[in-house]
Amino acid sequence: MNRAASLISAGPLTLALLIFAAALSRVLPHPPNFSPVEAVALFGGAYFARRGWALAVPLLAMFASDLVLGLVNGGIYWRYFASAGYLLVYACIALSTVLGFGLRGKVGAGRVLAYSLAGALLFFVLTNAGVWAFGTLYPHTASGLLAAYIAGIPFFQWSVLGTLVYSALLFGGFELLRRQLPALRAQTA
């Protein structure tokens, strides 16, 4: 492989490795909803030059971590794969990746913070609406929807914190790598 080809592949490979590492961290013990889900999507959207890769890599990384969680946790987690909630989470990942396109070429602490908060809010709104719409836990009324959102508030704080922490690690870590590795400075991916 020539030097030019290795420079081109260094960025996407590094991005993918960071995303997969973050996604697989879901296997480690953590508070409920403290996860990298939205951060990996925003990060992929911000840095992969090819939109197809920006969408595919976070989705594949989360799917890989879901498979590992299924193997570790067994039956209850496997049932998750057959639920509407599963599809809704993956839709949120795709939407947050598209949201991350807005960070392209404009990554900065304030923007990453704002987009991370927006991604966490998007996830909260859509997944709690999904629990209400597709589940039997809440009546399919306006008060039922409100109850679903209220019940989700304790999890939302962890979702926001997880998104902020993982965004800081991914975006900050990649910027530090770019300063150390010339192959990553020339292009994003």
The pLDDT assigned to 84 comes to 75
**Is it the case that residue 8 has pLDDT exceeding 70?**
no
Please say whether the dihedral angle defined by the alpha carbons of residues 121, 85, 40 and 44, taken in this order, is positive or negative. negative
* Mean per-residue pLDDT, 55-62: 97
**Is it the case that residue 12 has pLDDT exceeding 80?**
yes
What gap in Å lies between CA 105 and CA 89, rounded to an integer?
27
Question: pLDDT grade, residue 77 (50/70/90)?
Answer: confident
Question: pLDDT grade, residue 85 (50/70/90)?
Answer: confident
The pLDDT assigned to 2 comes to 46
- 130 within 8 A of 84, measured Cβ to Cβ: yes
- Encoding tokens for residue 125? 């709104």
- Residue labelled with tokens 């987009």: 115
- 138 within 8 A of 145, measured Cβ to Cβ: yes
* Mean per-residue pLDDT, 38-51: 95
- Encoding tokens for residue 100? 């991350």
List, for residues 143-168, the tens digit of each pLDDT value.
999 999 999 999 999 999 999 999 99
What gap in Å lies between CA 150 and CA 165, rounded to an integer?
24
Residue 170: φ, ψ to 5°: -70, -55
* Mean per-residue pLDDT, 29-41: 93
- 63 within 8 A of 46, measured Cβ to Cβ: no
- 43 within 8 A of 18, measured Cβ to Cβ: yes
